[in-house]
Chains A and B, each alone.
Chain A
Amino acid sequence: MMLDRTQRRDTVVPWKAGHDTRPASDPQQDKARRFRDAALPHLDDVYTLARYLLRNTGDAEDAVQECYLRALHHFNTFRGPAIKPWLFAILRNVCRGEFARRSGALHYDPPSDGEASGEDATPLWQEPQGSPETEILQQRNAETIRRLVADLPQPFREAIVLREINDLSYREIADVVGVPLGTVMSRLARARSLLRQAWVAEEGTTK
């Protein structure tokens, strides 16, 4: 120091305190805040997916909470651009763990080979001979449709919820589910066919 205290007091020093009035923000809290801003607006969407995947309110809530904790923990690795598919992918992993924890009776994900090509006959789906395509769909209330969607087998239910309800693109669905685009397309085709059949059958039972 060239100047002693007294001299320094008489010297005009550029005012720098402006920089000091705010403490450097804590990186942990900064991360939490950014995460909050980015992820919390999607809570309803994540919860919706959890409800359809797990078909149970309590499990869905637990899975969503766990999903958000994991997402915060790994927020540093999030590279964008869209956070919603990223959250979905995490949720899906949480749900997978949840299914593993439950009894083995619940089969989460069928082997993807064998169902990738659309035309092979599969036990899960067969375009009915009488082709319900000509029937006019009756309007059903939302609760009925929720049930019809919830009753679809897992991979098809997932595909249709991601596409129709959560409005993801095929590419995003492929990334979330971790399957090729072609599989997304064939699953979606089958999902809609199953849903339509169920829809028509529902009318048969209630009308």
Chain B
Amino acid sequence: MLGNYYTFPELLIWIPFVTGLIAIFIKNSNSVKMFALLSSIATLVVSVISLFYSDIAHHPEFFYYSNVSYVWMPYIGSSFSVGLDGMGFLLTFLTAFSYPLIFAATYKSERKNANVFFALMLLSQAGIMGVFVATDALLFYFFWELALIPLYFLCSKWGGEKRIQATFKFFVYTFLGSLLMLVGIIYVYVHTISISPDSNHSFSLHAFYNVLLSPHQQDWLFWLFFIAFAVKIPIFPLHTWQPDVYEQSNYPSVMILSGVMVKMGIFGMIRWLLPVFPVAVGKFDHFVMILCIIGILYASCIALYQNDLKRFVAWSSIAHLGLMGAAIFSTNRLGLQGVMLEMLNHGINILALWVVVDIIEKKTGVRKISELSGLGTKSPTLAIFVVIIAFANIALPLSNSFVSEFLMLNGIFHFNKWFAAFATLGIVLSAVYMLSMVQKTFYGKANALVDKVKKMSAGESIVLVILVIAILILGIYPEPVIHLTQSSVSEILSRVNIR
């Protein structure tokens, strides 16, 4: 019914884009904060409604619903095609869900040029939504780069002292990766068979899925695409930009970067890398998995010794994402299903962790673990939240990531027992560093800073409550998410296993 007039994928892009442009003109910083919050809630409402129309049970065909296409560049075979499948619904929901929480949690922060700040945040949401809904390779690339530009300005203008250098490194790294992917996209395009009479080749997703490439071609094309996604996620050894950027950026930007943007990389691998180059995936899966597992162990070991809270969260994020990367390349149902679930869960968990770090830094003014101690004595609610969030990051049963990490490890185990053993070591290490961080900062003797953390603002409390409830609910009953993404997983696997 709704889909006949204006479809969900487009609305999800246009609402943040238009409100982002309008936000530039709202000079009063309080009004623009409220405006941005309302806009992100509107996007969330659209996303939730779209979930009800997803109706995967009756129409499990891939991309059944909300697929729309406009003429854009017909003579080269590219159209403005957007569509949602199970994985797309999941990730657009994650994006739509994250932004209001980010705005609410950081509501009290004062910013210079707030109108430009919130405009850039909303524009970045539009770009990220575009990446998740694009079903045309050129449009995908367009939004992939476009999502980067607002974040470049956000991280460079508001943040720590060395932010300009760190963000610049991030930008050049990502830009180089994306350009290599552009060459790959064009090369695959040249070998597609067109579906429309206007041009000889096509950029559409279906054309890309049906392209015939020789194993030799697939080899180097695989690496071109892989480098672009690996820089985004990041996968060892292309991760060196990440700790610096996370440390120097302002909290809303880093929440977007770690909560949503990394999912762009994972999504890109699942949607655009695995099905298009199945032979190359089969050839390089061991190598990539070894890289991912090295990343997990390396990042976990470094997280053990981190003193700065932001860098700590950054390294733990690399460890979790290494596990996701490994699970993707296990290319079996359990692993991929686990990745789908983990994308949502990691988004929630890392967002919760950042909110906690933000609260700590805002109230006490310090980020160093060595200077914090006994925060839990005066603020028991925050301590309870932190413990639940820490358990979620460790993947304790009853938390959401237990199910997803269990599925992922299962998938890796079916692929290779030894890899699974080393990956599980990563979970053990995550327990060590996470619990030691919580213990050092929240327990132990109270010091002078403790009194400052007594009161949390309304926004922060609501956000933490919502996130903790989400952690627990998804931990007990993750079936809706699995059901939503089942058909996507089947579709991807059917293409990957044609080797």
Same complex origin of A and B: no
B interface residues (Cβ-Cβ under 8 A, vs A): none
A interface residues (Cβ-Cβ under 8 A, vs B): none
